[in-house]
A and B are shown apart, each in its own frame.
Chain A
Amino acid sequence: MALLSTPRSQVDLVGKGRPIREHLFRIALLSSLAVALIFLGLLLAYTLTEGWPRLDSRLWENFPSVRRPETSGVLSGIAGTLWIIGLTAVMALPTGVLAAIYLEEYADNTKWYNRLIELNIANLAAVPSIVYGILGLGIIARWLDFGFTVMTGAVTISLLVLPIVIISAREAIRAVPPSIREGSLALGATQWQTIYRQVLPASIPGIATGSILALSRAIGEAAPFLMLGAATLVRFNPDGVWSSFTVLPLQIYNLISQSREEFHILAAAAIVVLLAILLLMNSLAIWLRNRYQKRW
């Protein structure tokens, strides 16, 4: 009981006041965060007020027109964007996931060629999208003679998002603990059974989240399409993968370069639509992540 008889003066727990640096650091952190959030808010507020007069059904019921801004819309852009993203998902997701499975589950990391592949996937993810546009134009549109079609666009965008899909799928696969693989293999499961029945189901939420984020990045791309020379004034929706098309970002780009003020309002309204699609996809990703996140 020596502790109880300790004189009060020997234990000094009175705060000495936190150094001013602690507070300054906190403020620096918060203001960095504020910069990002304030500008996002400003952007949203600005485009919303600017585009508000045209944010109605005319926007998504009409095709573009250069002569009559009041009945001009971006229907073909919305349809084209959905076509491109849909087809990209069909092509890039399976390829990316399979590539990620190879790198995580089969590749021997001690071999130089596997390390080279890994390094180059990281490099590919950093290649500017305009370069993919050049690739699409030179190889897919011209050399393979796919022309300026939905297919050309989707293949180009698939190549663009593929490295990102691979990287995020690898992260998700790596998050599955090795003990699960060992448990499965120790029961006499083959490697493929282990991947198909344990690793993939456990990593699908992570893969889905990463893939959706990769696709939403692709939705906003204008540069590769510009390079591909996709038309902007398209007065019809794509009716198949071999149809010509336009996409929302390209239409926005085109509307802004018009001289009449009405078209600028229309552009702002189209930006709101684009942002709405993006936010929708991102919230789906967040929902998926929270809903299916595994705790080990």
Chain B
Amino acid sequence: MTQPNVTLRGPEVPNTPGSLDPVFTVEDLSVFYGDYEAVRNVDMMIGRREITAMIGPSGCGKSTVLRCFNRMNDLIPGAHIKGKILYHEEDLYGDHVDPIEVRRRIGMVFQKPNPFPKSIYDNVAYGPRVNGMKKNMDTVVEEALNKAALWDEVKDKLKQNALSLSGGQQQRLCIARAIAVKPEVILMDEPCSALDPIATTKIEDLMQELRQEYTILIVTHNMQQAARVSDRTAFFTADVDSAGVRHGRLVEFDQTTRIFTKPSDKRTEDYITGRFG
């Protein structure tokens, strides 16, 4: 493949980088696992109600960066960051910040659908329940499933085990589950990599719907997907330093149209034209 067959969402993107309304501001972020610096010196901004895609070859640290936004990396012993991630005006890693509270506002969908081994209803109700919401659970569940474009398929079998659903349905259930907590941001870590093309299309269409209400960050291996769904794209790659150690870094961050048509960095161009990665 020399020239990727990409469809661009071109003129629909209203924002220029100057007019970006930031939900997150990442300032000189480096992520460490113990002494190992997995990603270094990332600067980027995530715009409100935009879809930001993070692309790059394997091992470039894009998932690592994604997991900083809801402090999932905290769960790994020895993981820590340098630099800053501002969520609105608030330092996400400030001393007084409770990661539990962060994860309520910033939901996450994982690479492999991971519904709980419970009923469809209980899967969606789980988030609200652990957060102490008890009222109108039926409405909350229906609303979340509706927004995730799953209600019509499951409304007659809400008590059925979620593991009986197909992979694509399971992933939309995981999205519904995240929505039920009423987050502002949804992080998606390669949400379609375990799905077939039809299920992938459904998730991509769903993302366009969700974009009206939520800020979405998606890590993807699939460049066409980034080109199809996202407003902005961050291209990551891995550098090997003089000691032979790999560090992920952000090469270029721009509007998706520009990344895929006029990239300003040679490495981005090589990657999107399929010359490496």
A-side interface residues toward B, CB under 8 Å? Answer: 108-110, 177, 179-180, 182-190, 193, 197-198, 202, 294-296
Residue of B nearest to A110 (CB): B77
Count, chain B residues at interface, CB 8 A: 26
Tell me, in angstroms, the Cα distance from A186 to B116 when the chains sit together.
Answer: 13
- Chain B residues whose CB sits within 8 angstroms of the CB of A193 once the complex forms: 130
Considering the chains assembled together, what is the distance between the CA atoms of A109 and B101 in angstroms? 27
Set A108, A109, A187: member contacting B103, Cβ < 8 A: A187
Task: Flag if B77 contacts A188 (CB, 8 Å).
Answer: no
Contact with A along B78-118 (1 / 0, CB 8 A): 10000000000000000000001101100110101011110
Complex A-B, nearest 9 residue pairs according to Cβ-Cβ distance, in ascending order:
A188-B104, A187-B127, A179-B114, A186-B108, A189-B130, A183-B114, A188-B103, A193-B130, A108-B77
How many Å lie between the Cα of A180 and that of B117 in the bound state?
Answer: 9
A188 is contacted by which of B100, B116, B117 (Cβ under 8 Å)? B100
Please tell me if B131 contacts chain A, counting CB pairs below 8 Å. Answer: yes
Check B114–A188 contact: CB distance below 8 A.
Answer: no
A108-B77, A110-B78 known; A187 and B107 CB under 8 Å?
yes
Known A188-B130, A193-B130, A294-B117: A183·B100 in contact at CB below 8 Å? no
Task: Indicate whether B247 reaches chain A with its CB closer than 8 angstroms.
Answer: no
Known: A110-B78, A193-B130. A187 touches B112 (CB 8 A): no
For B178, what are the chain A residues with a Cβ–Cβ distance below 8 Å? Answer: 186-187
Give the distance to chain B from A165, nearest Cβ to Cβ, in Å.
24
- Which of A109, A177, A187 makes the CB contact (< 8 A) with B181? A187
In the assembled complex, the Cα of A121 lies from the Cα of B198 at a distance in Å of: 51
B-side contacts of A189, CB under 8 Å: 100, 126-127, 130
Indicate if the CB atoms of B116 and A184 lie closer than 8 Å.
yes
Report the Cα distance A183→B75, complex, angstroms: 12
Contact A182 B110 (CB under 8 A): yes
Are the CB atoms of A183 and B174 closer together than 8 Å?
Answer: yes
Proximity bits, B131-175, A CB within 8 Å = 1, else 0: 100000000000000000000000000000001000000000010
Cβ-defined contact, A185 with B72, below 8 A: yes
Once the chains bind, are A188 and B127 in contact (CB under 8 Å)?
A: yes
Give 25 A-B contacts (CB < 8 Å), ordered by A residue: A108-B77, A110-B77, A110-B78, A177-B114, A180-B116, A182-B75, A182-B108, A183-B110, A186-B72, A186-B107, A186-B110, A186-B178, A187-B107, A187-B127, A187-B130, A187-B131, A187-B177, A187-B178, A188-B131, A189-B100, A190-B100, A190-B130, A193-B130, A197-B126, A202-B117
Q: In this complex, what residue of A is CB-closest to B114?
A: A179
A295–B117 alpha-carbon span in the complex (Å)? 9
Given A177-B114, A189-B126, 11 more A-B residue pairs with CB atoms under 8 Å apart are A182-B108, A185-B75, A186-B107, A186-B108, A187-B177, A188-B101, A188-B104, A188-B130, A189-B100, A189-B130, A294-B117
Minimal beta-carbon separation of A207 from chain B (angstroms): 16
Contact residues in A for B101 (Cβ distance below 8 Å): 188
Quote the shortest CB–CB distance from A180 to chain B (angstroms).
6
